[in-house]
Structure 1
Amino acid sequence: MNNLQSLLQSLDSFIWGPPLLILLVGTGAYFTFRLGLLQFRHLPTALKMVFSKSKAGSGDISSFAALCTALSATIGTGNIVGVATAIKLGGPGALFWMWLAAVFGMATKYAECLLAVKYRKVDDKGEMVGGPMYYLRYGVGSKVLASLFAVFAIGVAFFGIGTFPQVNAIVDASHLSFGISRELSATVLTILVAIVTIGGIKSIAKVAGKVVPAMALFYILACLSVLITNSEHLIGAIQLVLTSAFSSTAATGGFLGAGMMLAIQSGIARGVFSNESGLGSAPMAAAAAKTDSCVRQGLISMTGTFFDTIIICTMTGLALILTGAWQTELAGAAMTTHAFAVGLDSDTVGPLLVSIGLIFFAFTTILGWNYYGERCVVYLFGTKGILTYKVIFIALIASGAFLHLDMIWIIADIVNGLMAIPNLIGLIALRHVVIAETKLFFKLNDDIDVDGIPAQN
């Protein structure tokens, strides 16, 4: 068993090693420059589109609801635990490399969500289906790559991001902060997940549309409280991030020190884990959006990476640095909890805020990944496979609170990384489609409004 676990850990390190990280960032860099720095030039327009209503086009849910569904899966424990892990390994400089991964990731997210809408189909229940499976099959023309992606994504939904880590985060936070038993937490969580997910995409999007903005605002306000309370250290923290990004970070306190390469690798890896740009998950939600323009939806979807990493991860990272929590012996959620306790000078309010954030972030991540797994099941087996999938998913949620299988986390990590490979192949193969659709959209909207929003040139 130990040999198998060691083998899996080696495979995990290989998959998430420099080749995949370079491919992820490289794809984003290609689209960034080939599309003329689109994520910088058109971000204001994209942000306006997020909050504007459009009734044009076919789809199951609004573009805003599709974005919230995607954000429900990406804004999760990675924003609290992942940032702490990155800074613990690579020092404050890791935050800079998370920013870089996010900037290029916005272009990747734009491209994959554009393709999701362009190649989406209607299933036999009349619902929109799309994502990497469909643009790999109908755009690239590869059934093998499409099927591989679907299988890997179901694996992530069942055994990775979608279930066990989130369930454990919820039951642990509920027990530590509110004294609720694991059994009760698991029961209530299972019932809530069943109620929401049985209703399908419209039910998930309705919950996500209310919970995601509320929880994000709540967490941002909590982080702002820490930053404002400790504002005298803020400039120093930002300077430390910038200087540490291009030099070694000395060992201080509980921090063991880190070289520049470790800062780069941990920052980019955690950044990608947090915003999922290039992994192919968000396109499955984008495909359900009610829109008549694949470019418009691509622009709206890329703001997800901006919200997730540039805003929320940055606030968490700065809170960890300016409070000195990164120099302690603590790691993960415990480090972030300590940062809030120190930053707000309260051993009760700080940890409570982190626990509430973890519970809501983890719950919505479960909902988002339930939908992603369902879309992949529909692709592989048709709508007749949905009920079986949901029964298995709910059973895994119920049992997740009582499982302590270290090997499961490693397998989940591997499958998550494997998702990205066929998706990135599809993005590279269809790069000319992305470029052509983008040029056509802005050419047609050069002198007219896009639902009342002036196009930017």
Structure 2
Amino acid sequence: MNELNNFLSLIDGYIGGSQWFVFLLLGTGLFFTIYLKFPQFRYLHHSIRIVRGKFDRQGDQGDTSHFQALTTALSGTVGTGNIAGVALAIHLGGPAALFWMLVTAALGMTTKFVEVTLSHKYREQVEDGSIAGGPMYYMHKRLNIRLKNKKVLKTGQVLGVIFAVATIFSSFGTGNLPQINSISNSMFETFGLNRMLTGAVLAVLLALVILGGIKRIAKVTSRLVPIMAIIYFLGAMAVIVYNYENILPSIGAIVGDVFSGTAAVGGFLGGSIAFAFNRGVNRGLFSNEAGQGSAPIAHAAARAHEPVSEGLVALLEPFIDTIIICTLTGLVLLSSGVWKEKFPNQFQETDLMVLEGQYSESNPDERKQLYQFLSGDIDLPLFSGSLNVSEGQIRNQPTILHARSVAESVQVWFNNQPYTGTLTFKGGNLVTQPGLTLTGNSLMHSAPLTTVAFTRSWLGDYGKYIVALGLLLFAFSTAISWSYYGGRAVTYLFGSKGVIYYRFVYVIGFFFASFVDTTIVWTLSGITIALMTIPNLVGILSLHKEMKTEVQLFWKEWYEHFPGKKTPKM
């Protein structure tokens, strides 16, 4: 597992975890924000009117309403990114990571407006009578290059195929594996339910929903999304109000740490400006998927005669998903203080690292060394060899790091009994022995951290049930929506007949991901997101002039539809 995670981390470091990817993502959003004159602010109230059906025409082609398309796309984005992703970003980069998530969302509102508009324009009806669309269709039709000798380079078809293949992989890396993994971990932490049992039950339910196609998916998600949003909002507000004295300091840390990085505090060893920036943008993208090209697939099915109108509906998604819901989660984590505290934990192999010798958190110099090691700035000698264990206690224990913190009160178990024997390490990593587990106190991240945070209110331990329920609904609906996205990609590549085989593999993968290592799942997620996002950003940047023309034509029609209303200037 460690070798696999190290290999995936290496790949992610060159793609999704790299600085150039972050700048490409933010740069695209910033370019369109300026080029289209801040549409995320100027057109927001128009978006709400369109969702309410004010711009509909009888006979508009499509399979879903604006509201159903919005909730289907939201169900694909409102998931573990809002609960586990925010916790992971703060765990890695400190409070400033939340700031960069919000910046990503603000710019992402424009990016999503653009990608949905262009994809909706070039949607088409497939052989089963349904409407199919997405970036692969606009790429296929608009991104070929015509040479002077009248020959055509089929770059659009190539990009379309690359994007569709990446979408299939990302349906697992974004919508499948991390969703059920977070659900099963939350259910285990909250109710003690076996992860495999949780995966099996939900895999069956998933199969029953996705076999019904987009109309059943839209019907289910249009009911789930509002319910889960209300439950989660009420639970989050209970924590924030209960810890009201920490609200202003938390907001101050979110903004202030942007310019200084987050200092070491509690069990948190510190976070640099660059690390907070990278992780915040990366998790922001995972949360709202702006630029990834997933939402256009859902919006392509919406009944609309004008592509820009559906783009304006999509503009609401990053606002709801990240600016509202992720901010709530961030304030819950920061105001409750759990992000810097150590809790009893069952250690995961890929979060575990053993150093040669002993380092003390209370020693400023040694603490700084640990932070620089975790940030990749320096190397520290890693332990290789064997350690003796007696009745669960490690003799002459060196420094053990778990979840980017110094582990305390470490105990070793074999089949749930205190272990006596030896532990073998190679290059700081535990050599796996079936039945062997390590527990102790360390920082937490992802869904378990948010679960603990929700207990810091008047609700006490009952608060964790809100996270479990919210995560169940959030993540399950995300898995539902992403099965549709992957299915549309399969349709583009192989036709409608291939979808049933894809859905079968999707459900099987959903089951197995319920009991695999969380860290590997998140690393794979980062890779698949980047592979899907890059061709889409290249595509929409290439069509920036066409996008501006579409917006101008839309406001001309809007003015004709609503005479007397002032048309926004371009």
1:69·1:208 contact (CA, 8 Å) conserved in 2? yes
C-alpha distance 51-178 of structure 1, shift in aligned 2 (>3 A): farther
Residue in 2 that maps onto 1:338: 452
C-alpha distance 170-453 of structure 1, shift in aligned 2 (>3 A): farther
Give the CA deviation at 1:393.
1.5
| Matched residue type, 1:117 | H
Q: How does 1:3-152 map to 2 (within 5 A)?
A: 5-16=5-16, 17-52=18-53, 54-56=56-58, 57-141=60-144, 142-152=156-166
| Matched residue type, 1:386 | V
Cα separation, 2, equivalents of 1:203 and 1:80? 26
1:246·1:260 contact (CA, 8 Å) conserved in 2? yes
Q: What does the per-residue CA deviation read over 1:172-226, in whole Å, with 9 as the maximum and x for residues that have no partner?
A: 3233323444444233212211111011000001000000111112111211222
C-alpha distance 37-411 of structure 1, shift in aligned 2 (>3 A): same
Rg: which structure is higher?
2
Is 1:228–2:241 an aligned residue pair?
Answer: yes
Residue in 2 that maps onto 1:386: 499
2:174·2:286 contact (CA, 8 Å) conserved in 1? no
C-alpha distance 412-273 of structure 1, shift in aligned 2 (>3 A): closer
Cα separation, 2, equivalents of 1:286 and 1:453? 27
Residue in 2 that maps onto 1:317: 330
Give the CA deviation at 1:107.
0.4
Q: What does the per-residue CA deviation read over 1:356-389, in whole Å, with 9 as the maximum and x for residues that have no partner?
A: 1111111011101100000000000001111111
1:49·1:453 contact (CA, 8 Å) conserved in 2? no
1:279·1:419 contact (CA, 8 Å) conserved in 2? yes
Give the CA deviation at 1:55.
4.9
Residue in 2 that maps onto 1:205: 218
| Matched residue type, 2:448 | A
Residue in 1 that maps onto 2:481: 368
Cα separation, 2, equivalents of 1:115 and 1:69? 19
- The DSSP-based 3-state class of the residue aligned with 1:257 is coil
Cα separation, 2, equivalents of 1:115 and 1:280? 11
Q: Percent identity?
A: 43
Cα separation, 1, equivalents of 2:451 and 2:190? 11
Is 1:161–2:174 an aligned residue pair?
Answer: yes
- The DSSP-based 3-state class of the residue aligned with 2:260 is coil
Higher mean C-alpha displacement, 7-16 vs 72-81? 7-16
| Matched residue type, 1:172 | N
Q: What does the per-residue CA deviation read over 1:416-436, in whole Å, with 9 as the maximum and x for residues that have no partner?
A: 211011111111111111111
Is 1:250–2:251 an aligned residue pair?
Answer: no
2:186·2:451 contact (CA, 8 Å) conserved in 1? no
2:105·2:318 contact (CA, 8 Å) conserved in 1? yes
Higher mean C-alpha displacement, 387-396 vs 23-32? 387-396
Cα separation, 2, equivalents of 1:6 and 1:271? 23
Residue in 1 that maps onto 2:437: none
C-alpha distance 28-383 of structure 1, shift in aligned 2 (>3 A): same
How many residues are matched?
454
Residue in 1 that maps onto 2:546: 433
1:447·1:455 contact (CA, 8 Å) conserved in 2? no
| Matched residue type, 1:421 | I
Cα separation, 2, equivalents of 1:456 and 1:305? 22
Give the CA deviation at 1:88.
1.7
2:178·2:525 contact (CA, 8 Å) conserved in 1? no
- The alignment's TM-score, normalised by the length of structure 1, stands at 0.94
Cα separation, 1, equivalents of 2:252 and 2:330? 13
Q: How does 1:272-291 map to 2 (within 5 A)?
A: 272-291=285-304
- The alignment's TM-score, normalised by the length of structure 2, stands at 0.76
Cα separation, 2, equivalents of 1:453 and 1:364? 38
2:556·2:567 contact (CA, 8 Å) conserved in 1? no
| Matched residue type, 1:27 | T
Is 1:446–2:559 an aligned residue pair?
Answer: yes
Cα separation, 1, equivalents of 2:195 and 2:263? 40
Higher strand share: 2
Higher mean C-alpha displacement, 329-338 vs 171-180? 171-180
- The DSSP-based 3-state class of the residue aligned with 2:315 is helix
| Matched residue type, 2:452 | H
- The DSSP-based 3-state class of the residue aligned with 2:37 is coil
- The DSSP-based 3-state class of the residue aligned with 2:559 is coil
C-alpha distance 171-230 of structure 1, shift in aligned 2 (>3 A): same
- The DSSP-based 3-state class of the residue aligned with 2:454 is helix
1:25·1:101 contact (CA, 8 Å) conserved in 2? yes
C-alpha distance 62-153 of structure 1, shift in aligned 2 (>3 A): same
Cα separation, 2, equivalents of 1:68 and 1:394? 22
| Matched residue type, 1:75 | V
| Matched residue type, 2:159 | L
Q: Where does structure 1 lack aligned partners over 5 or more consecutive residues? A: none
Cα separation, 2, equivalents of 1:182 and 1:330? 18
Cα separation, 2, equivalents of 1:21 and 1:359? 30
Is 1:292–2:305 an aligned residue pair?
Answer: yes
Give the CA deviation at 1:64.
1.0
Q: Which has the higher contact order (CA 8 A, sep 6+)?
A: 1
1:448·1:455 contact (CA, 8 Å) conserved in 2? no
C-alpha distance 101-202 of structure 1, shift in aligned 2 (>3 A): same
| Matched residue type, 1:237 | S
C-alpha distance 377-260 of structure 1, shift in aligned 2 (>3 A): same
Give the CA deviation at 1:308.
0.5
